[in-house]
Amino acid sequence: MIKTGSQKKPLAGRGDGVQRAPQVSVVIVAFNSGPWLGETIAHVLDSTIEVGVVVSDNASVDGSVLSVQQRWGGDPRVSVLHHPRNLGFAKACNRALERTHSPYVLFLNPDCLVQPDTLQRMLQVVADVPEAGMAGCLIRNPDGSEQAGCRRWEPTPWRSLARVLHLNRLRPRDPRFRDFNMTWEPLPGGPIAVDAISGAFMLVRREALDRVGPLDEGYFLHCEDLDWCRRFRDRGYQVLFVPDVEVMHRKGESSRARPVRVEWHKHRGMLRYYRKHLRKTYPGPVMAMVQAGVWGRFALVALVLSVRRWWS
């Protein structure tokens, strides 16, 4: 079991001059992430356990990564990996992953704020569940509400249709009409196994990661977390949701400037997920309808976003 003492230990450059191996390596993919990137890193470094941070920079031009280098340039706990272009989320995560060696890796969004005891508490939970390959926590929006996606069922075609048509609003007590997000479900009293957690906060056990493999680089942005959770479950690992550990996530800070492109990648990623994991489960006509529905929804969303941008 990982030792998680109640008192914070001195870190390298903070008094004893000793650089300790991190218990958790934190991978943060940055792409024009603004000032929240620095705040996210500062919160991570204030953790009650030893941590290391790898910033995987997808060619940011807003000065956010430069600010990180200026602020923590002499801190051995923080390293920056620059890419000549935007590699996408999965590929950028995997490149940073190659630089980590700790028993646990946390994939954290650049606008997600942890508390000092967040990682320590998560490690205690995962250490007590050896079959857990990864774990996520309760993610809050800035207004305090639960963020959709931090606990999810498998996004089957029917659940996706229920989400698009808001069928859960028509019959909220009927589980057959609920979508894949579990925000309509009461919070459990303790950690539970779910189908998927959010890529904004994914704590992964190294031993399980070595068996399952890295993120699928066929996804550019969105749905790679769903894919990874499915692959972990297919190898016999549990995906845990821990409701009594909370973080705050602003969501979408890096993608506000190009919303249509983000939506295109999101819909493309969902189709890749269906083809990869559900094609053998559903007959061809159903999958054809799914594909038509996904691209039809994208066309509608893109139109709405374009009109809003034109009028603003």
Q: What is the mean pLDDT of each run of 10 residues along the chain (312 residues)?
A: 33 48 96 95 98 98 96 96 96 97 97 98 96 98 94 84 68 69 90 97 97 97 95 98 96 66 82 87 76 74 76 74
C-alpha to C-alpha distance for 125 and 123, rounded to whole angstroms? 5
* Distance in angstroms (rounded) separating the CA atoms of residues 37 and 56: 12
How far apart are the C-alpha atoms of 132 and 284, rounded to whole Å?
34
Residue 306 is which amino acid? S
Side-chain half-sphere CA neighbours of 137 within 13 A:
28
Q: What is the pTM of this model?
A: 0.87
Question: What is the pLDDT at residue 116?
Answer: 98
Q: Which stretch of DSSP H or E encloses residue 154?
A: none
Q: Determine the 3-state secondary structure of 211 from DSSP.
A: helix
Residue 201: per-residue pLDDT: 98
CA distance 132 to 104: 12
pLDDT of residue 157: 77
Cα separations in angstroms, 98 against 153, 169, 231, 264: 30, 44, 20, 29
Distance between CA atoms of 156 and 63, rounded to whole angstroms? Answer: 40
Q: What is the pLDDT of residue 21?
A: 86
Structure confidence at residue 1 (pLDDT): 30
Give the whole-angstrom CA distance, residue 309 versus residue 42: 34
Instruction: Provide the pLDDT for residue 78.
Output: 98
The pLDDT of residue 299: 77
Cα separation, 39 vs 108, in Å, equals 13
User: Per-residue b/e over 103-117, b at no fewer than 16 CB within 10 Å?
Assistant: ebbbbbbbbbbbbeb
Which of 106, 123, 86 is closest to 258 using CA atoms?
86
